[in-house]
Structure 1
């Protein structure tokens, strides 16, 4: 039996360019997006996120890739961000020009650019330091797909969005007041949102069977990031 991979060659299950190109092409094809499944994922990310990553395993078995091939989650998430940011701008009397600037900043910088940077760092660290070495040349080498790392960020950021953009909006009359309770409530919202983000980020990489010593490495990484902040 001939080996499926060799040193110096790209593994057969890694096809970043075609997958990413197909993903981008489907962004403008609304009818091809699975909207119902996207809303199902968003609901379960807030209630039972492990179920979402169980379906990620099924996706790998049927599509031979961990990442989503449907950009519906990102498109709908961006629409939610636009609506939520617009609500804040209306509530706090922003001018039209400043509102447009704020909406573009939230979608492009807070979500997309930050997600690209975080996904790239996690993609590099997991592939460089956390992958198990293949025992022999007959086993197909597996790597974390960059698009999957971006999916993990999107999944982790959605409950954070619910807490810091939706819930915070409705309790904002309390948060803008002076006193101990508004400060406590605001910090509590941020603490829960950041903790849940890290938890979902861990679940996203924990589902990958070829990553080794993930828990201890992620705890060290999270603690180092927290100490810097």
Structure 2
């Protein structure tokens, strides 16, 4: 039985039938010994070759990060059979995410009543600090921790840094959509107002966003190297990424009891940057 939940991807993505044994390599499969630097160069070079990007498949991944993120990470393992790498070799997802981030930031800035000069400064901070800078830092930390503490044994392959970055941007997309898009619809009419209802709705948005991020990160590392069938993943104890959930729930309850509105905090933080 073939999975019928995604559009037909380009040659960089394949759907395979379910099996109880490792997948056979395609007839045209050639193992690659390319270094991380070579893979990174090819990836960055494709950022300027839009005609070679599979935007349809990247859009499918964005949808399924909300409805069934497990299927997105299953494709990463299929890619390893055809490309000998788990990380994306097609920057289409990153391009779409960047466009989505830009548009949502513009809407958020206009919702806060920023002028045009402040809007430009706001977008620079969001894109280059919150997204690129924080993304590189978080990806590097998780990459180091997973290789240092989560590998099943010393002979297991290292986690690719590119894969760690892919996990981060996958996990970043749902919180971005919740906090920069859905939240902005209610921002001026409800979330920026005082009162317990505003605090409850605002902080619930934040709780859902952080849970989404932690859960998708957990899926990414728990499925790393896991082939179709009963093979074990290359990493173990990936549940460590879910350990903050109890503390997160307690912090959520405490914020409601104290009337601490996280949307007000976010707005004050953004305004402090640009004013």
TM-score, structure 2 normalization: 0.72
Aligned to 2:219: 203
Aligned-pair CA distance for 1:204: 0.3
| Matching of residue 175 in structure 1 with residue 181 in structure 2 | no
Matched with 2:241 is 218
Paired residues of 2:111 and 2:184 also in contact (CA < 8 A): no
Residues 156, 198 of structure 1: 8 Å contact kept: yes
**1:159 maps to what in 2?**
174
Deviations 1:202-228 (A, max 9, x none): 00001111112222x3344x369969x
Structure 2 CA distance, aligned partners of 1:174 and 1:226?
24
Q: Which runs of 5+ in 1 are unaligned?
A: 1-11, 136-140
Structure 1 consecutive aligned stretches of length 4 or more whose deviation exceeds 4 Å: 223-227
Number of positions where the alignment pairs a residue of Structure 1 with one of Structure 2: 210
Alpha-carbon contact 1:120-1:149 (below 8 Å) kept? yes
2:8 match:
none
Q: Greater helix share, 1 or 2?
A: 1
Alpha-carbon distance in 2 for matches of 1:225, 1:178: 26
Larger relative contact order (CA 8 Å, sep ≥ 6): 1
TM-score by length of 1: 0.86
**1:19 and 2:39 equivalent?**
yes
> Where does structure 2 lack aligned partners over 5 or more consecutive residues?
1-31, 225-232, 252-275
Q: Distance in 1 between matches of 2:35 and 2:147?
A: 15
